[in-house]
Structure 1
Amino acid sequence: MKISSFFLVAVFISVEVCGQSINRFHDSKTIDSFLKYQSGRKRPLILAHRGGPASSDTENSIPTFTKTAKALPDAIIEMDVRMTRDSNFVLLHDATLDRESNVTGDVAQWSLPDLKKIRLKTLSGELTDQPIPTFGDILAWNQNRYVLALDVKPGTDPVRVMNEVRKHQSEYCVFVICYSLADAQRVRDKYPALWLAVGVNSMADLERLETNPLASGRLIALTPQKPQPVAFYERLHKLGIPCSIGTYGPTQLDEKPLSEATSGYRELFRQGGDIVTTDRPIEVSALF
């Protein structure tokens, strides 16, 4: 009994440290319940843009993902996936390494062995000892504990990215951000149970989506940062599609003092924003 009790305590501590249990998202039912549109939702889902780094953090990195996940166990962790010259996948927001690391040049021109030698910079430009993470590193870190939003950058094949996800048996803890309905359909054909996210930037986009087979389920609408009329969100909600609104970037809410922006975040949720995509996930979550 002493050994058994010790084991249970160790497991409990491990789960608490990690924030969520391993294989929390283990089937389509679990992620469907987490992401589906809910009319009575009391608070938005919080999506941590690039993992939610502060000025002293690196973006798209395991230390930042861990910090955010520990503080917000239900946060969606967003990341940017790019392909290297030798067809491996790494995380980096920009097409070039200039801003985020101690080297320069296009990511696509570097091989993975060489990329492993570089070091990341914080948002404020300070050099760290952190290497660039591979996409496989992230899936191994996650162990299906958190939902990961995969921004598969142009020039990187989302189907090949999902094939890597499948190798890690992680199909039910991710959704893929697609840059066109055609790309989204190609991924859906290969992975019919996968959640996808597409841009719906105008009423014309919405009208096209209403007649598209993708609208039948497991779809997130990436709506404009500028708030739209309530009817815009309601029309998407009638399709069962949750709406994500970004608050990051110049002139947006994330760039304002939190005291000035609080009412703006809350208004986005009241208007119909089911998911708030933000650079400061911990602070924004505390507003709801």
Structure 2
Amino acid sequence: MKIPFLVLLITLVASNVAAQQINRFQNTQSIDDFFQYKPNRKRPLILAHRGGPGPADTENSIVTFAKTAKMLPDAIIEMDVRMTRDSSFVLLHDATLDRESNAKGPVAEWTLSDLREIKLKTLVGELTDQQIPTFSEILAWNKNRFMLALDIKPGTDPLSVMKEVQKQQAEYSVFVICYSFLEAQRVRNRYPTLWLAVGINGIEDIARLEKDSLLIGRRLIALTPQKVQPASFYERLHKLGIPCSVGTYGAGQLDEKPVTEATQEYRALFRQGGDIITTDRPVEVSKLF
């Protein structure tokens, strides 16, 4: 039976698109184009907090990352990187295993082989057959298709994590969340073209940044307060060419409200100057723009 030409054409296009997705972020220009501050941006970038799990999903897992990426190919997938007792890197938000798995105790006291025996729980506490993924498994799964936000937890060396990133040639599909200007500068010294995210909690931090050597070369994302700031706050960062990220997750925040009630607030946040919205419900928030 002959395959209709239109069906064949659609199949070929679809396969080409799928092929193009691999190594979408493969050089400095590709990541710079993605994050560069754009004053005429029509919609915010959406950052999926912990990968964007729903109540029945596991957080920080390949299953959830793949689910979010399928629905939102341009979403930024955030993950939490921790080090095991034998210096391997795994994904887990909490310092202990208690909430997210069927085991207990600090991640740092477990070896990777022992962690392979435990299973992840969903957000509502249901046990699954999913293992805690290693960071290297995530990079191998991603193949530079989606942008990854690395929240490298205290006690885990970001430079060691970046060695694994380099090993898998993934340095253009990640950015690193830093907990201080000092840490950010340490990473910048070693990786001068890497995008970094740093906390900017007030005007004083902007003033400090304006005089800091970290500003040289830019490639910075400002992690701004969850409470909406005056427009002048975001404008001052935008004048430096720095996009602003705002979190809407957590107790008392927008993500806790019904979407219908919070719609205008999400949109106002973007109009005010929030270039990146970090949310627990990325799919629903994306649909508002």
TM-score, length basis structure 1: 0.95
C-alpha displacement of 1:13: 3.8
Q: Which residue identity does 2:56 align to in structure 1?
A: S
SS in structure 1 opposite 2:85?
A: coil
Q: Which residue identity does 2:207 align to in structure 1?
A: E
1:238 is matched with 239
1:109 is matched with 109
Q: Partners in 2 of 1:106 and 1:210 — Cα distance?
A: 39
1:67 is matched with 67
2:224 is matched with 223
Q: Partners in 2 of 1:51 and 1:175 — Cα distance?
A: 15
Q: Partners in 2 of 1:172 and 1:277 — Cα distance?
A: 20
Percent identical among aligned pairs is: 70
Q: Deviations over 1:76-95 (max 9, x none)?
A: 00000000000000000000
1:87 is matched with 87
Q: Which residue identity does 2:139 align to in structure 1?
A: L
Q: Partners in 1 of 2:15 and 2:283 — Cα distance?
A: 23
Q: Deviations over 1:102-123 (max 9, x none)?
A: 0000000000000011100000
Q: Which residue identity does 2:152 align to in structure 1?
A: V
Q: Partners in 1 of 2:164 and 2:96 — Cα distance?
A: 23
Q: Which residue identity does 1:258 align to in structure 2?
A: V
Q: Partners in 2 of 1:160 and 1:206 — Cα distance?
A: 29
Q: Partners in 1 of 2:78 and 2:215 — Cα distance?
A: 22
SS in structure 2 opposite 1:171?
A: coil
Pair 1:12 & 2:14 matched: yes
The CA RMSD over aligned residues, in Å, is 1.7
C-alpha displacement of 1:203: 1.1
Q: Partners in 1 of 2:68 and 2:143 — Cα distance?
A: 16
Moved more, 201-210 or 88-97: 201-210
SS in structure 2 opposite 1:53?
A: coil
Q: Partners in 1 of 2:100 and 2:236 — Cα distance?
A: 39
C-alpha displacement of 1:12: 3.4
Q: Which residue identity does 1:137 align to in structure 2?
A: E
Q: Deviations over 1:130-175 (max 9, x none)?
A: 0000000100000000010000000000011101000000000000
CA 11–153 in structure 1, closer or farther in 2 if over 3 Å, else same: farther
CA 87–39 in structure 1, closer or farther in 2 if over 3 Å, else same: same
1:215 touches 1:241 (CA, 8 Å); kept in 2? no
C-alpha displacement of 1:9: 4.5
Aligned residue pair count: 282
User: 1:121-200 residue pairs with structure 2 within 5 A?
Assistant: 121-200=121-200
1:275 is matched with 276
C-alpha displacement of 1:10: 7.1
Q: Partners in 1 of 2:88 and 2:180 — Cα distance?
A: 23
Q: Partners in 2 of 1:165 and 1:176 — Cα distance?
A: 11
1:175 touches 1:197 (CA, 8 Å); kept in 2? yes
1:285 is matched with 286
C-alpha displacement of 1:214: 1.6
SS in structure 2 opposite 1:172?
A: coil
Q: Which runs of 4+ in 1 moved over 3 A?
A: 8-16
Structure 2: segments with no counterpart, 5+ residues:
none
2:252 is matched with 251
Q: Partners in 2 of 1:128 and 1:24 — Cα distance?
A: 32
Q: Partners in 2 of 1:141 and 1:170 — Cα distance?
A: 11
Q: Partners in 1 of 2:223 and 2:116 — Cα distance?
A: 33
Pair 1:34 & 2:19 matched: no
